[in-house]
Amino acid sequence: MAKFSQESLELLREKIDLFTVLSSHLSFKKQGGKYVALCPFHEERTPSFMLRQGESHYHCFGCGAHGDAIQFLMQFLRLSFAEAVETLAEIFQVSMEKRETTERKGPGRARLKDTLDSAARFYQYYLLHAPEGRKALTYLYDRGIDLKFIQAFRLGCSPERSGVFAKYMQAKNISQECLMQTGMLRNKGTRNYDTFSHRIMIPILDRSGAVIGFSARKFSDRITGAKYINTQETPLFKKSQVLFGLGWARKAIIQTRSVLIVEGQFDALRLLYSGFDNAVASQGTAFTQEQVRILISLGVETVFLAFDADKAGQNSTQKVGCSLQKEGIDVFVVDLPLGEDPDSLLQEQGPDHWKSLIEKARDYLTFLYEKKEQEVPILSPASKTKIVTEIADMIRSWDSPLLVHESLRRLSQLASVPEWTLCSKEPGRSQASLPKTLDKSPLDPNQVLEADFLRPLFLLGSSEPDWLRIAERNLAPEQLSHPSAQRLYALCKEELRKNFPLELLAIHSKIREEDRNFWDHLLEKRIDPEKAFSHFLESIQKILERRWMEQREEIKNKIMKAQFEEDEALALAKQFDDLKKAPPKVLT
């Protein structure tokens, strides 16, 4: 996590205008000295989400949601603390200094995003107004892409002659260093060249809607090179960590907890344009674990895969489906006719036909079993055994024991084999199946547990005042094992008692230097508001059980190591038995 300097955080705090941040996501109506909107955190017909003019906090009188700009971005956009800070810094043009002294030197992220935004504007102007852009424009029109579509997704065209783009950017006072850092210029020997030449330019956005790169497509057979060329890896753009279309689809994905994944960028754009606003595409590579993590962070529970019906597309469906099912996400496969893609189907058959395909989507295991049957026809017991064993072994590699059990039951139904023949093996638990909060964590399990307890208090405590009461009823600061956790718990209690919402940026300034690492770790993990309370209670229960076990062990050690009179020994034994019979329970 980026460790921002206190000075830059204070400057950012002074610059933030909450209405500016929220109005780009919500439709406000002014009522006197306040603004009201429909709450984004619960379903309602009458606006109860309110922001008073000049204040730095919002409040919903319907669900109790309360917070500042940081908390809104973390809760609504599912950003981490660092991502929320960087988003606000870009909006309000604040240069965020890092506490580390080893940070890469060069233009800041905000400056690089400004460079790419200017590039997108140039490319779209060139497409719509330059004579050279007419061929690209004709190609788009022939594909059924109209002006409204072009403007909605900021499509453009790069000049054929190198140097035209760089000259324009230079006239806009954009440095060559920025162009190199964003991958817009490349170096050959002693000369620099425009990276993209004579191609349709499709901006790639981050989850907050800022341009971080481009995907460039050929529109003529005489253009050399691959059909698509993406921006090279840059400080802003990591291909394996980006889902194309997420900047447009993020809100719908969060609201529906579902996503539609397709192969091509134009497939995703056509779906978004046609009202299927939870569509995204991978960036032309194998679906990565980072991309899976993005979907998990957005709360995705259901995925629809709509890849091509050819062999490559079906193999991709199998691999992507497995990586998603492994994480406990339900996967359904949309069957496309051979030779068709979402773009062509929507143009030829319309949205209603596409909707019917989604409604008829097969669950992942049905797709996989039928695919294997086509590859290895079941002509003998041996061939059937091969198929079933291969799928069963894959299922056993998944993380959740319950998911493994239920999936093996489903496989037994598909294959018409007795359930016991598949479930006799104990599903293996790999290192990947360890709790996600402990996996590769730099902290020990006790510190991870205490961070899990504090995280919902800091991030949602303003909206849920009862949570502090529950925390105080069950735990005192000294019952936490880590000194930083003790101090942060005490600080949280103090701030929440002041009867105004917590400000994360303000709290940051009150944290001791020795507690910074623990604080940074606490804020690294995103939080799901719908599951936060159950996880909060679970963390309290585990801390209580930890102390309960420690007390039992202390008594046991006393009995084992010391010489006592018989009465004292019996008293200790009774104390041990009484403790054992009374395991702790969370008081709510």
C-alpha closest to that of 177 among 240, 235, 124, 126: 235
| CA 303 and chain centroid, separation | 14
Please tell me the predicted confidence (pLDDT) of residue 358: 94
Which pLDDT value is given to residue 588? Answer: 84
| pLDDT given at position 437 | 37
User: Average pLDDT of 471-490?
Assistant: 91
Mean pLDDT over 123-147 rounds to 93
Tell me the pairing of strands 330-333 and 302-306: parallel
- Report residue 394 as tokens: 């894959």
Which of 299-308, 372-381, 406-415 tops mean pLDDT? Answer: 299-308
Count of helices and strands (H, E) across the chain: 26, 16
The neighbour count for residue 107, using CB atoms within 10 Å, is 19
Is-contact 286 272, C-beta < 8 A? no
Specify the pLDDT at position 285: 58
Q: What is the pLDDT of residue 442?
A: 46
Q: Are 145 and 219 in contact (CB under 8 A)?
A: no
In 3D space, the residue among 391, 363, 351, 392 whose CA is nearest the CA of residue 375 turns out to be 391
Q: Output the 3-class SS for 402-434.
A: HHHHHHHHHHHHHHCCCHHHHHCCCCCCCHHHC
pLDDT at 333: 95
Rounded to 5 degrees, φ, ψ at 208 are -95, 0
Q: State the chain's maximal CA–CA distance in angstroms.
A: 102
Each residue's pLDDT tens digit, 72-105? 888 887 777 888 888 888 888 887 766 554 445 5
Question: What average pLDDT does the segment 261-271 reach?
Answer: 93
Is 494 in contact with 507 (CB distance < 8 Å)? Answer: no
d(CA 21, CA 75): 13
What pLDDT, on a 0 to 100 scale, did the predictor assign at position 372? 86
Highest mean pLDDT among 30-44, 285-299, 350-364, 510-524: 350-364
Name the token pair of 130. 């330059």
Could you give the angle at which helices 311-325 and 289-297 cross, rounded to 10 degrees?
50
Residue 424 has pLDDT above 70, yes or no: no
- CB atoms inside a 10 Å sphere around CB 320: 23
In the structure encoding, which two tokens stand for residue 32, read together? 């006197």
Residue 429 has pLDDT above 50, yes or no: no
Residues linked to residue 292 through DSSP beta bridges, in sequence order: none
Which residues, listed in sequence order, are joined to residue 60 by a DSSP beta bridge?
A: 49
φ and ψ at residue 175, rounded to 5 degrees: -70, 155
Indicate whether 581 pLDDT > 90: no
Query: What pTM does this model have?
Result: 0.68
Q: What is the pLDDT of residues 436-449, one digit of tens each?
A: 433 444 457 888 88
Could you tell me if 152 and 158 are in contact, meaning their C-beta atoms sit under 8 angstroms apart? no
Q: What is the mean pLDDT of the chain?
A: 84
CA pair distance 17, 38, nearest whole angstrom: 20
Burial class (CB within 10 angstroms; exposed 0-12, middle 13-18, buried 19+) of 183:
buried
